[in-house]
């Protein structure tokens, strides 16, 4: 370990390691599964535009804020607030983050489990000689079955726990550095296949041509929620990772690189999916199953599709894994530092506890599909609650905490590494932290849930 002030803690060993691990957290099912399905349900182009606007302003600011809080405090998501603002109630923001990690991991592992099933199918050549309707049927019958999705989900949670047991450098950093670039390459190849399909133009139009009549309060809130979810912000995952970052790391440029990678991959995923959606006559608002119904058809239609299919689902599994480990690490780092548990005990205990909620999420597609709260299944509630409520609200508290409680002096210190580098946009950053982000997030949230009437 080469960190200056982090000698006592496990930490990232290199700058690329930091970017790779945090980008590994950001890039995941949120980009490849959630972005296309939410964009598809919310009208495409206009949604994309608003989503990009949120990333550039609020998203990067919250991300940088989390890194600053993490590095400054050298603590987990809850301990950070306790340390930086002792004898106050700010630690409750950390509690909210830990709850969010619980909730997200529970439903995220459902989808990660689907990815394992698809990897298994791809290896067994299970998509071959099937038409679009048959592939869709395959997805339906898998999704509605009980045992298989559960087994895959629990297996995935086991994989996550295994990496977390290894600790930061040996576990998280090692795996992400190598596999992320491979995923990007494969997606680019798939994009080429997708945009050269007959009828691909419709899909590109859907994704890139904004139709402003589609914008409602709800669409704007969904775009905000997607930005938070995709960037892994609002719950302290990046506070936790920030605490492993070295003192000489240039946080603003690290933030920028991660945001760019995350957004680039979401857009590429859109370019990969939507042309095929239109070319094969799938409904863009097909919901959570969208990519699982479309991707196998693309593989069938490309030379070398078998091998691409296997690799793609393998790398998607890895992308999901680098996200789930960042989620579980939030909980485990807290349990180690605050509850004084061993890494081993914390990992096993919490992986098991979260799996209980996870099982309910998975059963939302089978046994519990009729069980609804607020008109939504358990799965949809967990998804909505985390992305559209917990993360944005966490974001509000995080920016207020940094902007008002820690204040400009500490901010300047951290972004300039004690005055050794310059940051041009410092004033704008502080303005966003103090005013723009908290007010905008609250307005979008209230408008999205219909407080100002109409939707
Ligand atoms: N950003 C991840 C994705 O896009 O798949 C999901 C996620 C990971 C959200 C970690 C929040 C988090 F703290």
**Which sign does the torsion angle of CA 254, 259, 264, 269 carry?**
positive
In a domain? residue 370 = yes
| 327 ligand 1 Cβ < 6 A | yes
Cα of 387 from ligand 1 centre, angstroms: 10
| 104 ligand 1 Cβ < 6 A | yes
In a domain? residue 260 = yes
pLDDT of residue 172: 64
In a domain? residue 314 = yes
Cα of 226 from ligand 1 centre, angstroms: 10
Q: Please check whether residue 351 is in contact with residue 328, taking contact to mean a CB–CB distance below 8 angstroms.
A: yes
Alpha-carbon span 296 to 307, nearest angstrom: 12
Which domain range does residue 51 map to?
Answer: 2-448
| 324 ligand 1 Cβ < 6 A | no
**Which residue, by CA, sits nearest to atom 13 of ligand 1?**
232
Alpha-carbon span 18 to 11, nearest angstrom: 9
82: CATH: 1.20.1740.10
In a domain? residue 454 = no
| 22 ligand 1 Cβ < 6 A | no
Cα of 334 from ligand 1 centre, angstroms: 18
pLDDT of residue 129: 86
Cα of 326 from ligand 1 centre, angstroms: 8
| 235 ligand 1 Cβ < 6 A | yes
Cα of 263 from ligand 1 centre, angstroms: 13
| 232 ligand 1 Cβ < 6 A | yes
pLDDT of residue 112: 98
| 29 ligand 1 Cβ < 6 A | yes
pLDDT of residue 179: 77
**Which sign does the torsion angle of CA 204, 208, 212, 216 carry?**
positive
| 230 ligand 1 Cβ < 6 A | yes
pTM of the model: 0.95
**Which residue, by CA, sits nearest to atom 9 of ligand 1?**
232
pLDDT of residue 171: 59
Ligand 1 mutation target, pool 104, 332, 394, most atoms within 8 A of CB: 104
Question: Which position has the token pair 């530092």?
Answer: 337
Closest CA to 295 of 140, 115, 153, 155: 115
Alpha-carbon span 37 to 25, nearest angstrom: 20
* Number of separate domains in the chain: 1
| 25 ligand 1 Cβ < 6 A | yes
Walking along the chain (455 residues) 10 residues at a time, the average pLDDT comes out as 46 76 93 97 97 98 98 96 97 97 98 98 94 93 96 97 80 70 90 95 97 95 98 96 92 96 96 95 94 93 91 91 93 95 96 98 97 96 96 98 98 95 93 98 94 74
3-state DSSP of 284-321: CCCHHHHHHHHHHHHHHCCCCHHHHHHHHHHHHHHHHH
In a domain? residue 453 = no
Cα of 386 from ligand 1 centre, angstroms: 10
* Atom nearest to 324 CA in ligand 1: 8
First vs last C-alpha separation in the chain: 53
| 293 ligand 1 Cβ < 6 A | no
């Amino acid at each position: 370990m080469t960190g200056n002030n982090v000698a006592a803690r496990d930490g990232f060993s290199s700058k690329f390691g930091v970017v790779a691990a945090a980008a590994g957290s950001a890039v995941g099912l949120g980009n490849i599964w959630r972005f296309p399905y939410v964009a598809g349900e919310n009208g495409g182009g206009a949604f994309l535009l608003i989503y990009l606007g949120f990333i550039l302003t609020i998203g990067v600011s919250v991300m940088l804020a989390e890194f600053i809080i993490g590095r400054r405090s050298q603590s987990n998501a809850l301990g950070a607030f306790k340390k930086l603002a002792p004898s106050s109630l700010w630690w409750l923001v950390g509690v909210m983050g830990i709850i969010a990690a619980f909730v997200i991991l529970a439903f995220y592992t459902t989808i990660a489990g689907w990815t394992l099933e698809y990897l298994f199918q791809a290896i067994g050549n299970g998509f071959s000689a099937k038409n679009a309707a048959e592939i869709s049927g395959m997805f339906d019958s898998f999704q509605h079955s009980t045992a298989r999705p559960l087994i895959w989900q629990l297996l995935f949670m086991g994989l996550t726990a295994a990496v977390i047991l290894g600790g930061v450098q040996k576990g998280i950093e090692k795996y992400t550095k190598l596999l992320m670039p491979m995923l990007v390459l494969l997606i680019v190849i798939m994009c080429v296949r997708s945009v050269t399909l007959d009828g691909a133009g419709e899909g590109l139009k859907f994704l890139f041509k904004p139709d402003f009549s589609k914008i409602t309060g709800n669409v704007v809130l969904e775009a905000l929620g997607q930005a938070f979810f995709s960037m892994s912000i609002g719950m302290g995952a990046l506070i936790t990772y920030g605490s492993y970052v070295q003192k000489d790391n240039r946080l603003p440029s690290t933030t920028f690189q991660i945001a760019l990678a995350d957004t680039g991959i979401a857009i590429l995923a859109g370019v990969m999916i939507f042309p095929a959606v239109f070319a094969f006559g799938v409904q863009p608002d097909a919901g959570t199953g969208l990519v699982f119904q479309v991707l196998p058809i693309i593989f069938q239609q490309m030379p070398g599709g078998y091998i691409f299919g296997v690799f793609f689902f393998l790398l998607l599994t890895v992308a999901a894994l680098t996200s789930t480990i960042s989620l579980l690490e939030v909980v485990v780092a807290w349990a180690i530092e605050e509850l004084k548990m061993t890494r081993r005990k914390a990992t096993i205990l919490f992986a098991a506890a979260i799996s209980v909620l996870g099982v309910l999420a998975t059963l939302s597609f089978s046994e519990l599909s009729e069980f609804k709260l607020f008109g939504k299944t358990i799965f949809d509630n967990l998804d909505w609650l985390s992305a559209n409520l917990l993360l944005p609200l966490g974001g509000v508290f995080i920016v207020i905490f940094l902007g008002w409680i820690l204040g400009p002096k500490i901010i300047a210190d951290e972004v300039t590494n004690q005055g050794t580098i310059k940051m041009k946009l410092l004033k704008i950053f502080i303005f966003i932290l103090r005013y723009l982000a908290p007010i905008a997030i609250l307005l979008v949230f209230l408008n999205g849930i219909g407080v100002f009437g109409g939707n």
